[in-house]
Amino acid sequence: MKITSLLLCLCLSGLMHVSAQDKLNFKVNVKVATEVRALFKKGGRLLFHLTKQKEREPRSRSEVTIGVTPENWTSDQTFTIDTKGKNVLINGLDKLKLPLTDTYYYQVVYKQNEDDGNENVSGNLFSEVDSLPIANKTKLSLVLKSQIKPTVIVEHKFVKNIEIKSKFLSDFSGHDRYLKASILLPSGYYEHPERSYPICYRAPGLNGRSDKINGMMSNKDFTAWWFANDAPQVIYVFMDSQGPYGDSYQVDSENNGPCGKALTEELIPAIEKMVHYQPDSKKRYLAGASTGGWVAVGLQVFYPDFFDGCWAYSPDPIDFEHYGLIDIYHDSTIFYNKYGYLQPGRRTTLGEPTFSMKEWIAGENTNSRTNDYRISGGQFGAYNAVFGPKGADGLPTLMFDPYTGVIDHNIAKQWEKYDLKKVLEKNWPTLGPKLQGKLWIWTGDMDGLYSNVATRFFQKFIEKTENPKSDAIIKFTPMAGHTQEWSDKAVLQMVANKAAGTKS
């Protein structure tokens, strides 16, 4: 494989004297080496990671990230990152303990995959991990000599893999886009090839991929159970959430394109033809946790006749008046609550805030080539692309200011069509009858992302429904955290029970 190389020299002059109030003061000279440069693409995001953790690569998680989008950078030019420059963002510096005399590990990544907003995905370039004691003037040399390769799905008799070109998404984007999934067959599949098995589509968590099946097949406890004589006879499909701005959420959107249409009219028919599923059996189900939980409920609501039931654990907010602790329609900013305190974004199961919304968005700004969260590949970059309109520049329109958190209520109003509680409130006479027997939602009441709040208010709506009175099952576990009780085994058993007409 041809590799692009990049030489990065850092002058960490005076680093040990940096205060929490000052930006890191050094320059980075970046050069693409004369090795074959065919893999390098202009316009990417250059990210430098610094961490004290040696157990994992800095690109997986680091205390400090420096991000910049080189302008008009070509592979035969040197690019200098000046950390005092107006277009350079530094995130996490205030978390470093001074003086900086310990050993730190560093790594550089170049985000250039235009079809995937994430960092650690196929097509992006990265360097090896190196380390240094930050105490004196230091020069670092880093080479982007590796490219992240596509994941490979495990080979197994009971595992099928599918990838198809999507006409809908390709036409929308003006270039080829693909849909893929992995399929786990039930233990009796080859003994009864004539049978149409119930099928369950498992939506992944944020930015999850169809290679989740690899972990399932390497789990001896799960495979022993799956291939036992009394295991559920269900086809389990692992969906893939790749999108140009992060997770696609599997629904049509102005920015990602007709993802829901592509799923239901292209990918699912291709899968079901492959495994001989008969749509007339009405045993097509959905399941997922976290982002996958939102997707499960969302697809069931938007395609009430196509899907026959969903199981959603710890779903992302299904009510945008309680978007975590934020009311996007009435609050003025996402950074501070109505009492003037920093709005928390995460917490422990004991209720201790661990991460503010301001910190969260600062991290996403740093990771995005636009210097705001639109193309971060993170949670809010994905939300913004899925739920919001397209801007005049062809990119998603920001629902809130990336540096002040101030909400644009004109944009927030346009998110309503993805606010699942509002969708049901407006359309209950039509949707209510079609959703009977199809909604099962669970969450922990100490959800680490505060998503349980939205589920609570969603439940309040459900309890007041009439004509019909909803039979949705919504459960809360005291003191449980985000997806804490998720179990593929439990979900698959409930799916099997549903398909057989027995109680979960």
Question: What's the average model confidence in pLDDT over 2-8?
Answer: 47
Residue type, 269: P
Looking at the fold, whether 412 and 311 belong to one and the same domain comes out as no
pLDDT per residue over 445-479, tens digit each?
999 999 999 999 999 999 999 999 999 999 999 99
Is 478 within the bounds of a domain? Answer: yes
Confidence of residue 432 (pLDDT cuts 50, 70, 90): very high
Q: How far lies 145's CA from each of 18, 39, 59, 120, 270, in Å?
A: 31, 10, 15, 15, 38
What's the pLDDT tens digit per position in 274-304?
999 999 999 999 999 999 999 999 999 999 9
Q: Is residue 305 part of a domain?
A: yes
Q: CA-to-CA distance for 421 and 33, rounded, in angstroms? A: 54
Domain total of the chain:
3
* pLDDT number for residue 30: 59
pTM of the model: 0.94
**365 shares its domain with 237:** no
379 and 348 inside one domain: yes
Q: What is the mean pLDDT of the chain?
A: 90
pLDDT score recorded for residue 44: 93
Q: For residue 82, what is the domain's CATH number?
A: 2.60.40
User: Model confidence at 73, in pLDDT bands (50, 70, 90)?
Assistant: confident
Mean per-residue pLDDT, 111-135: 86
Q: Are residues 192 and 44 in the same domain?
A: no
The last residue of a domain, from among 364, 392, 417: 417
Residues 170 and 286 in one domain: yes
Report whether pLDDT(83) > 80: no
- Whether residue 379 sits in one domain with residue 423: no
Residues 222, 77 share a domain: no
Which of 122, 147, 172 marks a domain boundary? 147
Average pLDDT value for residue range 412-416: 98
Query: Which residues neighbour 110 within 8 Å (Cβ) at sequence distance 6 or greater?
Result: 6, 40, 44, 45, 46, 47, 124, 125, 126, 144
Comparing 44-53, 256-265, 396-405, which segment has the lowest mean pLDDT? 44-53
Residue that finishes a domain, picked among 417, 434, 460: 417
Residue 152 lies in a domain: no
29 and 112 share a domain? yes
Do 248 and 120 share a structural domain?
Answer: no
Residue 27 confidence class, pLDDT cut points 50, 70, 90: low
**Is the pLDDT confidence value at 435 over 80?**
yes
Mean pLDDT along residues 300-319: 98
Q: Is residue 39 assigned to a domain?
A: yes
- Residue 229 and residue 83 share a domain: no
* C-alpha torsion angle, residues 374, 352, 208, 462 (rounded to 10): -90
What is the rounded CA–CA span in Å between residue 378 and residue 241?
13
Split at pLDDT 50, 70, 90, the class of 85 is: confident
More confident residue, 327 or 148: 327
Structural domain that includes position 362: 327-417
> Using 50, 70 and 90 to split pLDDT, how confident is the model at 443?
very high
Statement to judge: residues 359 and 465 lie in one domain: no
Q: Assess whether 46 and 64 both reside in one domain.
A: yes
Q: Is the pLDDT of residue 171 over 80?
A: yes
**Tell me, what's the pLDDT at 77?**
74
